[in-house]
Amino acid sequence: MKALVYHGPGERAWEDVSDAVIEEPTDVVVRIDSSTICGTDLHILKGDVPEVRPGTILGHEAVGTVVEKGAGVSTLEVGDRVLVSCITSCGRCRFCKERRYGLCTGGGGWIFGHLINGLQAEYARVPFADTSVYKIPDELSDEQVLFLADILPTAYEVGVLGGRVEPGDTVAIVGAGPIGLAAVLTARLYSPAHIVAIDLDGSRLARAHDFGADVTVDNGNGSAIETVAALTGGLGADVAIEAVGVPETFELCTELIRPGGRVANVGVHGHPATLHLETLWIRDVTITTGLVDTFTTPQLMKLIAEGRLDPTPFATHRFPLGETMSAYDTFADAAATHALKVVLEAEPTAHGPVPADEELVGAGC
């Protein structure tokens, strides 16, 4: 089979690898029907995630079809269409019993394309299948559910639920990349009074408006604090969601927040950020952090099935799976290509129709 293999910082190749096989009775092997690339994969390629060993297949987001199952798998059958999530759950450890699957100590957590071979491949071995994959209703296309593998639950759980967004709140979202936009989309589920998207890139801010932000701020001139203050009688945002992962944007969130407000950090940080306790301590500000647990995935899938949530606008580019190398180039150059998520598609199956009225961009089209 073929897969996208990491060969150390800056080195990747689409190449022949050993077939994915059942190793434990709780495994399944899936044929990958659709996969996608994450900002985290780019971090790995920069060498920022040293625990990823050269030789590892990348990718942690996919929709696939079960082609083989271990003797211990009881809830899945060959032929089932499943969402394979960025988070795996052993189902038995203390944290899995608390639905905090991201912290799994029984061999799960974020393992695909990290500690074990990932999902940017023709086939993949999926451990703890009974407790980790989600069956997909027939009426939903691959593309409708693919982004449930990471960005939707990440933004919803770590941002919107972490920040305890409530009806009528003013929510400031710093960063309008895929995660920030997913926070815009899922914050709307709570009917906030205002969603303020803050970024430095005009095209991303235009997207944020399309996704449901009613106010957008290009903070190139530092006007975010003033804009949020004007919307809130001078108090500041009820909730600030950090969706970039650099010190400046975290510190901006702590300046945007009202007394008693909540800062939810979603961004993945590579450097220390300053925590200004000298000004925050007296303002009763709550700060939350976290890795996604994906406990909301079934809830989000139901909202998609009922037409209450539509993540398909994240798919800006599509490539055949065999052109994953080009897809990486497009995704990595998002400033020029305006890519949000690139969809890697295996040979067409009976599922996953692409809406006919959408503009298709990319090498596959």
Q: Which residues bind Zn ion (CB under 5 A)?
A: 38, 40, 90, 93, 96, 104, 106, 108, 150
Q: Hey, what are 307's tokens? A: 């037409």
Determine which helix (DSSP H) or strand (DSSP E) holds 98, and give its type and residue range. Answer: none
* Residue whose Cβ sits closest to Zn ion: 38
* Least separation in angstroms between CB 314 and Zn ion: 13
Q: CB of 298: closest distance to Zn ion in angstroms?
A: 18
Instruction: Report the residue number, 104 or 152, with the smaller CB distance to Zn ion.
Output: 104
Q: What CA–CA distance (Å, rounded) separates 217 from 228?
A: 9
Backbone angles phi, psi at 175, to 5 degrees: 110, 120
Choose between 217 and 339: whose C-beta lies nearer to Zn ion: 339
Question: What gap in Å lies between CA 134 and CA 7, rounded to an integer?
Answer: 31
CB 106 to Zn ion: min, Å: 4
CB of 193 to Zn ion, least distance (A): 31
Cβ proximity to Zn ion: between 183 and 256 the closer is 183
- Residue number with CB closer to Zn ion (90 or 224): 90
Residues linked to residue 290 through DSSP beta bridges, in sequence order: none
User: Measured from the CB atom, is 120 or 254 closer to Zn ion?
Assistant: 120
Which residue type does 237 have?
Answer: A
* CB of 264 vs Zn ion, minimal distance in Å: 18
- Phi and psi based region of residue 164 (left: phi greater than 0; alpha: psi -120 to 50; beta: remaining): left
Q: Confirm if 257 and 236 have CB atoms less than 8 A apart.
A: yes
Cβ-based neighbour number of residue 99 at 10 Å: 12
